[in-house]
Amino acid sequence: MRVPLAFLLLAAGAAGCADTGVERSSDSSAARAVLRAVAKTEDAPSLRYRMTGRLPEDGRVRADGVVGTAPRVAAVKQSGLSGDNRGEFEMRLVDRVLYQRMGKQQVHGRHWAGFGPRARFLSGSGLKMDTSAIRDQTGRNPAREAAFLAAADDVRRVGGEKVAGTATTHYAGTATLDTVRAWLKDRGNGPGRGQTTLKMYQGMGVDELTIDVWVGSDDRVKQHRTRGFGRHGELDLTVVLRDFGKPVSVQAPPAGDTVDLSRPARKGRG
């Protein structure tokens, strides 16, 4: 199952790490403000978001998504806007079942593939499947990676700015992957929370992240941006979050246009 890199809503950066003389992020008021905003944003019962930017392997990309917790649903549609990855890619999570659509491509004559309610299973052809990472990324609140800013030694309050017409406070800083990894370990985060993102950055050849986070007066993350350079060029993604707590609806794709890969293949299907 090939998943476009940008779908994972990751960005990474490399920038100089000057000695600013500010206190360590774990003790700073700026870091505490960012962590408080991430926690409150992740607690939102629903939200919508848009990711735009550039990744070296996918070129220019855009993704629009929605996440809800009661009931737990999620959907994200990504568009490749340049290079060899032009086209659309979509994921949905409904009733614990993950669905995938790869543009006009078909699986056994159908546009959608379903992976059942379990993350790990044997496909109908006997192939071992593990959808844990993409299931987590589809259903997660996209504010999560903004917390990485709290790991930076130079995290600071930049000042007041407006995002989509809303007044916000801008925070910024830089952090190496090793610093973020150690920070996650110190906080007792398990291997599934944040580590998938770090592995993606590492695979891109990224050593250091440049992170900006904008927090609204409601103490929620309104926007975050991560920039820099990997082995294959520039990375620059911005995620804008909105519509906190508004009703959301995500429907499973039509059963007649979906092949369930978690069930044994029917003879003659194709």
- DSSP class per residue in 35-81: HHHHHHHHT-SEEEEEEEEEETTTEEEEEEEEEEETTEEEEEEEEE-
pLDDT tens-digit map of 35-75? 999 999 999 999 999 999 987 777 788 999 999 987 789 99
pLDDT tens-digit map of 107-155? 888 999 998 888 888 776 778 888 877 887 788 888 988 999 999 999 9
pTM of the complete model beyond 0.75: yes
- 34: Cβ contacts below 8 Å, ≥ 6 apart: 146, 147, 149, 150, 155, 171, 213, 215
Sign of the alpha-carbon dihedral angle for 188, 171, 137, 71: positive
Contact (CB, 8 A) for 73 and 65: no
